[in-house]
């Protein structure tokens, strides 16, 4: 097992001051009280769009905050290690002003959202320099898929340190519950945002990060919070890996997750799993049913990413407490949403994307090249479907991610795969490969594809994709 070091470090961190358009919110919510291990789960505050618009202001600076019951200097949005959830609807606009009070550049990426990669939208080539304010403007399509997304720094080559320091939060696009039976459309939902941090002195570590180093895993910035549920009750959990580098294999003792969306793509058929692998950047929206009265653990199981990768130990993430009067909700449906199947689509072009790294694990490549923002590596045509083979020539797993358009995972190591929907992130096994199909719709411009283990991305494992008419 090898440890990885990030190629850059931060001397400053981030805080976010937020204001919504209507509804009277201004100046951001006050900092939360300290939370100790075992405290009730606290969902992040929400900033919700009104009349089709959400207006947000983000101030980026270093801040001392309460993290998992400790006072630490961290990179925060809105003065929080776990910042507000941005909640929008399909067809909305998001107007977001980001003021950079760091002494290094930063920017913002809205992960997974189908939105323009150009101009003042989801443009990861923007660098907001110290002392500058940049005004992002996102116009989301009316058919935007409902589910759980996230936002984070994408500033190359310091995205790893910035996200590891705390710069990540959740985005929710409403509409997922409409696929449920009417009696389940008002069920309780929880954000289960998985973030980890390493400590150096009195601060969250952002320098010389080693993926395999001991780390503290939190849910919504809390250490082993309790989640309350009644026997038989069904809840919607938004499982989100918004960490910089690590993997989670999530398991709820004595329970099965029922998946209704993967990477904010509603599935065509609800499927059940004893555990779910959340590679870097992955999200699952799941239904959980309360068991008999008692306590059970939400865990991340041991996981090994390969001979050249990292071993992640088992840890308790949260404790589910079942109690109170039993509930008797209706049976869950088998089918869920309608999805587009690309199995029989005409293929306009085929590409091979090869992930590799040097023997020392300090440099990472796509098709033998390190990232260069001035070079176009793949050019794809709007309104066509392409088939890509993503091959991993290294001895560790990589988390493939592409911006702007999601994809259908067709096969893993030559075996057909049925994921019941699309996704924006897929794990690629050591010496393995996946085949995906992508339908390029709505937007042209330059964007990127990369490994979402951010230390790898920062060290070169990213490429430029240009979508043209």
Asked if the model's pLDDT at residue 313 lies above 70, the reply is yes
Last-in-domain residue among 173, 194, 224 = 173
Return the structure tokens found at 294.
């008692």
Whole-model pTM?
Answer: 0.92
Q: Which residues contact 359 (CB under 8 A, 6 or more apart)?
A: none
Alpha carbon separation from 268 to 235, 265, 330, 412, 427 (Å, rounded)? 20, 9, 19, 20, 21
Q: Look up residue 164 and give its DSSP letter.
A: H
pLDDT at position 9 = 37
Strand order in the sheet with 378-381: 378-381, 462-468, 445-451, 398-402, 425-428
User: What are the pLDDT digits (tens) for 278-298?
Assistant: 999 999 999 999 999 999 999
Return the structure tokens found at 443.
């937007």
The confidence band for 60, taking pLDDT boundaries of 50, 70 and 90, is confident
What is d(CA 263, CA 113) in angstroms, rounded to the nearest whole number? 10
Report the alpha-carbon angle 372-424-271, nearest 5: 160
Domain co-membership, 159 together with 187: no
Last-in-domain residue among 151, 173, 195 = 173
Average pLDDT over residues 111-127: 98
Question: Which stretch of 18-22, 142-146, 305-309, 351-355 has the lowest confidence by average pLDDT?
Answer: 18-22
pLDDT at position 78 = 84
pLDDT at position 380 = 98
Examine residue 77 and state whether it is found in any structural domain, yes or no. yes
pLDDT at position 2 = 39
The confidence band for 69, taking pLDDT boundaries of 50, 70 and 90, is confident
Domain co-membership, 118 together with 206: no
Domain co-membership, 162 together with 61: yes
Are the C-beta atoms of 215 and 197 separated by less than 8 Å? Answer: yes
pLDDT at position 33 = 46
Asked if the model's pLDDT at residue 10 lies above 60, the reply is no
Q: Which residues pair with 186 in a beta bridge?
A: none
Alpha carbon separation from 385 to 350, 436, 438 (Å, rounded)? 9, 10, 5
Per-residue exposure over 432-464, b if at least 16 CB sit within 10 Å of its own CB, e if not: bbbbbbbbbbebbbbbbbbbbbbbbbbbbbbbb
Return the structure tokens found at 148.
């759980």
Question: Which stretch of 99-103, 204-208, 236-240, 300-304 has the lowest confidence by average pLDDT?
Answer: 99-103
The confidence band for 36, taking pLDDT boundaries of 50, 70 and 90, is low
Per-residue exposure over 377-416, b if at least 16 CB sit within 10 Å of its own CB, e if not: bbebeeebbbbbebbbebbbbbbbbbbbbbbbbbebeeee
Q: Measuring CA to CA, which residue among 105, 119, 27 is closest to residue 60? A: 105
Q: Look up residue 162 and give its DSSP letter.
A: H
Examine residue 341 and state whether it is found in any structural domain, yes or no. no
Examine residue 445 and state whether it is found in any structural domain, yes or no. yes
Examine residue 22 and state whether it is found in any structural domain, yes or no. no
Q: Which residue would you say has higher pLDDT here, 78 or 340?
A: 340
Asked if the model's pLDDT at residue 6 lies above 50, the reply is no
What is d(CA 285, CA 446) in angstroms, rounded to the nearest whole number? 30
Torsion over CA: 57, 61, 62, 64 (sign):
negative
Q: Which residues pair with 86 in a beta bridge?
A: 47, 171
Asked if the model's pLDDT at residue 1 lies above 60, the reply is no
Q: Look up residue 31 and give its DSSP letter.
A: P
Q: Measuring CA to CA, which residue among 266, 290, 299 is closest to residue 148? A: 266
- Ramachandran class of 97: left when φ > 0, alpha when ψ lies in -120 to 50, beta otherwise: beta
Domain co-membership, 189 together with 113: no
Torsion over CA: 112, 115, 121, 124 (sign):
positive
What is d(CA 320, CA 341) in angstroms, rounded to the nearest whole number? 36
Last-in-domain residue among 322, 357, 388 = 322
Work out how many domains the chain is built from and give that number: 3
* Mean pLDDT over each residue of the chain, to the nearest integer: 92
The confidence band for 50, taking pLDDT boundaries of 50, 70 and 90, is very high
Domain co-membership, 307 together with 212: yes
Asked if the model's pLDDT at residue 101 lies above 80, the reply is yes
Q: Which residue would you say has higher pLDDT here, 216 or 35?
A: 216
Domain co-membership, 311 together with 244: yes
Average pLDDT over residues 179-183: 95
Q: Among residues of the chain, what percentage have pLDDT more than 70?
A: 92
Examine residue 31 and state whether it is found in any structural domain, yes or no. no
Asked if the model's pLDDT at residue 430 lies above 80, the reply is yes
Q: Among residues of the chain, what percentage have pLDDT more than 90?
A: 88
Examine residue 9 and state whether it is found in any structural domain, yes or no. no
Domain co-membership, 190 together with 313: yes
Question: Which stretch of 7-16, 83-92, 207-216, 424-433 has the lowest confidence by average pLDDT?
Answer: 7-16
Q: How many residues does this entry show for the chain? A: 469
Domain co-membership, 53 together with 115: yes
Q: Look up residue 413 and give its DSSP letter.
A: T
Domain co-membership, 159 together with 193: no
Strand order in the sheet with 203-204: 133-139, 93-100, 53-67, 70-77, 203-204, 199-200
Helix (H) or strand (E) holding 442: none
Q: Which residue would you say has higher pLDDT here, 299 or 10?
A: 299
Give SS3 for 394: coil
Domain around 81: 46-173
CATH of the domain at 380: 2.60.40.420
Examine residue 16 and state whether it is found in any structural domain, yes or no. no
User: What are the pLDDT digits (tens) for 438-467?
Assistant: 999 999 999 999 999 999 999 999 999 999
pLDDT at position 196 = 98
Domain co-membership, 202 together with 273: yes
What is d(CA 424, CA 403) in angstroms, rounded to the nearest whole number? 8
User: To 10 degrees, the CA torsion angle through 451, 457, 463, 469?
Assistant: 70
Q: Measuring CA to CA, which residue among 21, 23, 32, 31 is closest to residue 57? A: 21
Domain co-membership, 221 together with 296: yes
Domain co-membership, 216 together with 310: yes
Helix (H) or strand (E) holding 458: helix 454-458
Average pLDDT over residues 131-153: 98
């Amino acid at each position: 097992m090898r440890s990885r070091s990030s190629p850059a470090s931060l001397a400053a961190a981030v805080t976010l001051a937020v204001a919504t358009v209507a509804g009277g919110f201004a100046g951001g919510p006050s900092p939360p009280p300290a939370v100790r291990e075992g405290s009730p789960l606290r969902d992040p505050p929400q900033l919700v769009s009104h009349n089709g618009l959400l207006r947000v202001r983000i101030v980026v600076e270093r801040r001392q905050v309460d993290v998992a019951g400790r006072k630490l200097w961290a990179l925060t949005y809105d003065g929080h290690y776990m910042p507000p959830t941005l909640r929008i609807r399909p067809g909305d606009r998001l107007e977001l002003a980001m003021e950079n009070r760091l002494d290094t550049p930063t920017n913002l990426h809205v992960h997974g959202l189908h939105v323009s990669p150009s101009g003042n939208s989801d443009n990861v080539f923007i660098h907001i320099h110290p002392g500058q304010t940049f005004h992002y403007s996102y116009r989301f399509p009316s058919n935007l898929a409902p589910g759980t997304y996230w936002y984070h720094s994408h500033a190359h080559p310091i995205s790893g340190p910035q996200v590891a320091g705390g710069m990540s939060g959740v985005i929710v696009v409403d509409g997922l519950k409409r696929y449920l039976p009417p009696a389940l459309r008002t069920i309780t939902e929880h954000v289960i945002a998985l973030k980890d941090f390493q400590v150096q002195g009195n601060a969250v570590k952002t320098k010389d990060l080693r993926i395999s180093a001991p780390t503290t895993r939190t849910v919504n910035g809390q250490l082993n919070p309790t989640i309350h549920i009644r026997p038989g009750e069904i809840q919607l959990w938004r499982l989100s890996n918004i960490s910089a580098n690590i993997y989670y294999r999530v398991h709820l003792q004595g329970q099965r997750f029922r998946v209704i969306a993967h990477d904010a793509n509603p599935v065509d058929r609800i499927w059940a799993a004893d555990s779910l692998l959340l590679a870097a950047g992955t999200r699952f929206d799941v239904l959980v049913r309360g068991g008999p009265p008692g306590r059970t653990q939400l865990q991340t199981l041991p996981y090994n990413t390969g001979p050249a990768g990292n071993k992640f130990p088992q840890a308790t993430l949260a404790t589910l407490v079942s109690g109170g009067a039993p509930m008797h909700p209706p049976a869950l449906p088998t089918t869920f949403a309608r999805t587009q199947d690309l199995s029989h689509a005409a293929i306009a072009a085929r590409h091979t994307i090869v992930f590799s790294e040097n023997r020392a694990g300090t440099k990472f490549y796509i098709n033998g090249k390190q990232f260069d923002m001035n070079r176009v590596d793949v050019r794809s045509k709007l309104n066509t479907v392409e088939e890509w083979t993503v091959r991993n020539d290294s001895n560790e797993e990589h988390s493939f991610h592409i911006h702007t358009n999601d994809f259908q995972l067709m096969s893993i190591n030559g075996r057909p795969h049925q994921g019941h929907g699309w996704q924006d992130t897929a794990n690629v096994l050591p010496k393995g490969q996946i085949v995906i199909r992508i339908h390029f719709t709505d937007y042209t411009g330059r964007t990127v594809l990369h490994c979402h283990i951010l230390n790898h991305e920062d060290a070169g494992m990213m490429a430029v994709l240009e979508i043209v008419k």
